[in-house]
Structures are given as C-alpha cells and as structure tokens.
Amino acid sequence: MNREREGNRDHPREMAGKKGPHRWREGRIPEVEEERVDELLELIWTLREKGVADLDQLLEEAQDVEARSILRSMNRDGLFEMDGNQMVLKERGEEMAREIIRRHRLTERLFTEVFEMSEEEAEKEACTLEHILSPNATDSVCTFLGHPPTCFHGKQIPRGECCAKFKKEIKPLVIPLDDLGLGEEARIVFIAPKSHQRLDRLSSLGIVPGSIVRMHQKNPSHVLQLGETTVALDRDIVKDIYVKKV
C-alpha cells in the first residue's frame, strides 16, 4: 500500500494539546473506520516492542495515507496521549492494541500449525481475522492451541483470561512436551527457551520445530528418541518445548 503522507496538515505534536469528549461507545469510534484504527494501534504496539514510540517514525511506517488524520481522531477519543513526540497508549488504547495483537498472533499459529499454511498465507489470513474474531472465539483458539506464549516469529502473544484459568473443556492440540505419555510420539511445534544459549543447545541436539520425538523415559530425567538417537533433557528444559501428537 502507498505510504504517502498527507500534505498541509497540522504538525503531529499539536495533537497532544487537542482535547475533546471521549466518544467511545460499545467498541466503536465514530467517523473513523475501525479496521484503520486497529491497524494503527497494531503498528504502535509492534514499534513499541522495538523500543520505538516516535510519532514521526510511525507516520513513516504507516500504510494509510490518512494516518495523521486518523491518529488525531484517536487522540481526541483518548486512545493515546503525547509526551513530546512520543506516543503513549492510554488504558483503553492499550487494551484495544493488546487484543488486536493477540488475535493476530493466535490466528497466525492456527493457520500454520493446524492448517499447515505457509507463513505468507497465514499472515494474510490473520490480517483479516484480527478485525472480526470475537473474544470467545479468540479464547477458544488459544485453548485449542495450548495457550502458546509466542507466535511463529518468536514474538510474545499477550495472555488472556483463558491462559490464567487454563481451561480444559477443549483438549489442546498443542501440549507441553512433559504431558506426552511414555511411548507416545509428537512433532515439535515451537520452543520457548529462556535464553538463546539454550535454544542453540537444543538445536545442536536436533531438537527443533518439525522434529518427531518419542517419549522414552520421564524419570529421573526425560529421555527422548529422535530417530536412532536418544537425548536426555532436564525437566526445566523440557518445559520450554511444545508438541503436537502424531
């Protein structure tokens, strides 16, 4: 999409001084299409993950040619405030951004792990569903996938109430490796290590996403069968590995 900025607009910093009535009603912002607001909230969140909160840089990244005007409306509606040229999400804006990111990253995992779509296809479909998935449907997807902590890019998926409760009504498709029974086989779906060193160690042992493992032993340590090779792992490392039974 064209990233061209609008011309002849007020300077971005002037938004910080413009106040207006909070027009948020039942999840809708009048005068501005919801999807365009969602896209900008998503961009604010992802840039913040990179340590960027600068308004000018956001305008450079935005694909909506009317981004400046939409941001002005979002500012009036109390979704964010300005601290100099830094954008700071307010409570409602933070909640909305968090939910859009959660829906996007969960649906990415759904399409790649369940439907085995390519990353490009999954990204495209996630960009559609992130705007329409209901809270209940989002929690069901999360539970079905086993409450994954990250998307396939390794970025954190914001946790939901279902993650805290860890509902068991729907049997998760993706489970912790530790839940695999003796003799059962599974494909490694993702690994959420606490350090890059641990990930490198697992990779050197052949324990990577896509590998098929068989649970050979669980006490006193976990022993996995990978083809003709057996690998022993400590329990704290096993907790970082998530699998899908085959």
pLDDT tens-digit readout, 210-234 = 899 999 998 888 999 998 899 999 8
Is 231 part of a structural domain of the chain? Answer: yes
Q: Do 58 and 85 belong to one domain?
A: yes
Is 128 part of a structural domain of the chain? Answer: yes
pLDDT at position 220: 82
pLDDT surpasses 80 at 198:
yes
The domain spanning residue 103 has which CATH number?
A: 1.10.10.10
Q: Do 152 and 184 belong to one domain?
A: no
- Of the pLDDT bands very low, low, confident and very high (cuts 50, 70, 90), residue 79 is very high
5 residue type, one letter: R
Half-sphere exposure of 197 (CA within 13 A, CB side): 0
Distance in angstroms (rounded) separating the CA atoms of residues 230 and 246: 19
Is 2 part of a structural domain of the chain? Answer: no
Q: Do 21 and 82 belong to one domain?
A: yes
Distance in angstroms (rounded) separating the CA atoms of residues 66 and 2: 11
| Average pLDDT, integer, range 133-148 | 91
Distance in angstroms (rounded) separating the CA atoms of residues 160 and 2: 34
Q: Which of 5-19, 68-82, 154-168, 186-200 has the lowest mean pLDDT?
A: 5-19
Domain boundary among 36, 58, 89: 89
The pLDDT mean for the chain works out to: 83
| Average pLDDT, integer, range 95-122 | 91
| Average pLDDT, integer, range 159-171 | 71
Q: Do 208 and 236 belong to one domain?
A: yes
Q: 68: part of which helix (H) or strand (E)?
A: helix 67-76
Is 5 part of a structural domain of the chain? Answer: no
Domain boundary among 135, 165, 195: 165
- Of the pLDDT bands very low, low, confident and very high (cuts 50, 70, 90), residue 32 is low
Report percent pLDDT > 90 for the chain. Answer: 48
Q: Do 77 and 112 belong to one domain?
A: no
The answer to whether the beta carbons of residues 148 and 175 sit under 8 Å apart is no
Name every residue whose Cβ is closer than 8 Å to that of residue 43 and which is 6 or more positions away in sequence: 58, 61, 62
| Average pLDDT, integer, range 161-178 | 74
Q: Which of 21-25, 27-31, 154-158, 178-182 has the lowest mean pLDDT?
A: 21-25
pLDDT at position 240: 85
Nearest to 112 by CA among 166, 161, 173, 168: 173
pLDDT at position 24: 37
Domain boundary among 44, 67, 89: 89
Is 4 part of a structural domain of the chain? Answer: no
pLDDT at position 126: 93
Q: Do 68 and 33 belong to one domain?
A: yes
Q: Do 25 and 78 belong to one domain?
A: yes
| Average pLDDT, integer, range 168-174 | 63
Is 7 part of a structural domain of the chain? Answer: no
Q: Do 109 and 85 belong to one domain?
A: no
pTM: 0.61
pLDDT surpasses 60 at 70:
yes
3-class SS of residue 125: helix
> Which residue range is the domain that position 127 belongs to?
96-165
pLDDT surpasses 50 at 19:
no
Name every residue whose Cβ is closer than 8 Å to that of residue 114 and which is 6 or more positions away in sequence: 145, 173
The domain spanning residue 205 has which CATH number?
A: 2.30.30.90
- Of the pLDDT bands very low, low, confident and very high (cuts 50, 70, 90), residue 137 is very high
Domain count within the chain: 3
Task: Determine the angle formed by the axes of helices 91-109 and 119-129, rounding to 10 degrees.
Answer: 140
- Of the pLDDT bands very low, low, confident and very high (cuts 50, 70, 90), residue 75 is very high
pLDDT at position 116: 80
pLDDT surpasses 90 at 197:
no
Q: Do 207 and 145 belong to one domain?
A: no
CB atoms under 10 Å from CB of 7, counted, come to 6
Q: Over the stretch 50-64, which tens digit does the pLDDT of each residue have?
A: 999 999 999 999 988
Label residues 49-63 b or e (16+ Cβ within 10 Å = b). Answer: eeeebebeebbeebe
